[in-house]
Amino acid sequence: MNDIKIGIIGCGTISSIYMQNIPTFNYLSLIACADLDINKARTQAKKHQIPKVYSVDELLNDPEIDLVINLTIPKEHANVCIQILEADKHVYVEKPLAVTRSEADRILDVAETKGLLIGSAPDTFLGGGIQTALHLIEKGEIGKPIGASAFMIGRGHEHWHPDPSFYYDKGGGPMFDMGPYYLTALIALLGPILRLSGTTQISYPERTILSEPKKGSKIMVSTATHISGTIDFGSGAIGTITTSFDAFGGSTLPPIEVYGSEGTLLVPDPNTFGGPVRIRKRDEKEFTDIPLTHLYQENTRGIGVADMAVSILERRPHRANGELAYHVLEAMHGFHDASANGVFYSMQSTCTKPEPLPINNRF
């Protein structure tokens, strides 16, 4: 099969792991990068041996490029995705798919009209850890899944991030920052969501930056920083999720647990690709570590792009797709809507539960 030629728009911090990983996959060839700051693009191209350094327009006009990875800031995701599609190229975008549901609708509409594919991070659910957990569920190792819990509880980014203000602005907060990892993993394990409820709050209206170079500066918080919700999955399982930037004392809660009729499964951090995966069967006293059954256990961001490339070449569905990303985006808004309106939020979208990766599958 021929290689899929890749271009990257956005040469910030996150670009390094993509540029490092993309050349390691079969059927992918990274040939160009672009950034509004051309010096950033030049630096990254030199570091990662990328042949072409472009302006954004030059990259979009290169007929050799088949697929563009969009690594711009979230508020630009929709605009840049649509530019890429209008240039007749497939697009894979960092999470989230867009900031608003209407923006995401536009992306999917243009892709459908053009007959092009949308892919979106996170692709961590394709890593060895969560794929092992999915394999155990599919084998019936915990019986019928009846429930799940997810916790992303921390003390906020002002303790370490050099410029954390945007995490506390509209479109920020722990749900929009980290929710995509947890919700994508839950949907991969249990299937799409039917309805949900949510309660949100701004625990601290003002926060103080404790990291350099803006140490001592104040942040006025305009988005919820502690969100708890319940989830009704179409499979019949019931989930709970809490995301928080407000736990200054930290937490000992596990990232994800899945409860089945025959046992409980501890799922690894969905912001990672590896383990551990642990299981305790009915009436057993201790959890047991399960060796990972699947590959890609280190930081292999870009595996979603590799799967997408094979789908283009083989004309089959890809796993980290736009339909899934839209469903996750709607759910994140749904928790906030449910809290504001005091009612359950019924999902307007659905998605196909991504196909598990075969054991020993290598892209």
Same domain (yes/no): 219, 74: no
In a domain, 316, yes or no: no
The CA-atom distances, in angstroms, between 125 and each of 24, 197, 337 are: 19, 24, 26
Band of residue 223 on the pLDDT scale cut at 50, 70, 90: very high
Q: b vs e for 83-94, b when ≥16 Cβ sit within 10 Å of the residue's Cβ?
A: bbbebebbbbbb
Neighbours of 251 (CB within 10 A): 13
Q: What is the pLDDT of residues 310-328, one digit of tens each?
A: 999 999 999 999 999 999 9
pLDDT at 2 > cutoff 80: no
In a domain, 361, yes or no: no
Q: Which of 11-25, 161-175, 203-217, 229-243 has the lowest mean pLDDT?
A: 161-175
Per the omega criterion (within 30 degrees of 0), is the bond before 23 cis? no
In a domain, 11, yes or no: yes
Same domain (yes/no): 15, 158: no
Band of residue 166 on the pLDDT scale cut at 50, 70, 90: confident
Q: State residue 1's pLDDT score.
A: 57
Domain that holds residue 187: 125-295+327-346
Q: What is the mean pLDDT of residues 41-66?
A: 98
Q: b vs e for 136-145, b when ≥16 Cβ sit within 10 Å of the residue's Cβ?
A: bbeeebbeeb
In a domain, 96, yes or no: yes
Average pLDDT, the chain: 96
Q: What is the mean pLDDT of residues 240-262?
A: 97
Structure token pair of residue 249: 């004392």
Contact residues for 233 (Cβ-Cβ < 8 A; gap 6+): 186, 190, 191, 192, 193, 194, 239
Q: What is the CATH number of the domain that holds 16?
A: 3.40.50.720
Band of residue 149 on the pLDDT scale cut at 50, 70, 90: very high
Band of residue 263 on the pLDDT scale cut at 50, 70, 90: very high
pLDDT at 340 > cutoff 60: yes
Same domain (yes/no): 167, 285: yes
Question: Which 8-state DSSP code applies to residue 193?
Answer: E
Could you tell me what percent of the chain has a pLDDT over 90?
94
